[in-house]
Amino acid sequence: MDQGSHNGNGAGRFSGEQEMVFPELPERMVCYPDPRLREACAPIEDFDDSVAALAERMLQIMKTGDGVGLAGPQVGVCRRIFVCNPTGRPEDDRVYINPELLDLVGTVEAEEGCLSLPEIRAVIHRARKGRIRAVDVNGEPFEHDGQDLIARIWQHENDHLGGRLIIDRMDATDRIANKKQLAYLEAQFKG
């Protein structure tokens, strides 16, 4: 759902004290098999300016990578936040913080990619539609209903927040088709 790669500079912010709210974002996308992609992310609880700055930066990184979605762990931020834009139009930028997926119904399969899994493609079964409950960058709650592509993006990105990747969901055929590339990514990884 997010696919490609990117380069970018960090946009770390500090809270009022000395504690850093979010780490400096990495120069490169966090890619498989980086263990940071496998952690369950903590909710965001403080909604200061750094949250909006993080969301803005994530949208930029997503677009640079030609992605339609990007989750916190992919930029080294293990917090429950993801951004998406299913159309590429600026007015369709969306930010979901502390999301919950509800009322998922139907099953459809479609091919997905992931910015953290370069060159990997896999057919993934997802619910066709559902509802998302989340808060915005100011901590204000909202709910949206969605179907097809947007619902698929929600499910893909929400998986990231629980440390789950498309390679966990792909079938045996795709596992074989992607075996070489996964081995390559593992060999490239320098911990």
- Residues carrying an active site annotation: 157
Does 34 contact Zn ion by CB under 5 A? no
Instruction: Report, in Å, the least distance between residue 1 CB and Zn ion.
Output: 6
Judged by beta carbon, residue 84 or residue 114, the one nearer Zn ion is: 114
For Zn ion, which stretch binds (CB under 5 A), given 2-10, 13-21, 50-58, 168-176? 2-10
Instruction: Report, in Å, the least distance between residue 46 CB and Zn ion.
Output: 26
For Zn ion, which stretch binds (CB under 5 A), given 53-61, 98-106, 113-121, 134-142? 113-121
Distance, CA of 144 to CA of 135 (rounded, Å)? 11
Identify the three-state secondary structure at position 111. Answer: strand
- Pick from 37, 114, 124, 170 the residue near Zn ion by CB under 5 A: 114
Instruction: Report, in Å, the least distance between residue 160 CB and Zn ion.
Output: 6
Across the beta sheet with 81-84, the strand order is: 69-71, 81-84, 94-105, 129-135, 141-147
Please give the helix or strand (H or E) that residue 161 lies within, else none.
Answer: helix 149-161
Distance, CA of 96 to CA of 180 (rounded, Å)? 34
Distance, CA of 180 to CA of 119 (rounded, Å)? 11
Q: Which residue is nearest to Zn ion (CB)?
A: 114
Site residues for Zn ion per CB under 5 A: 2, 114
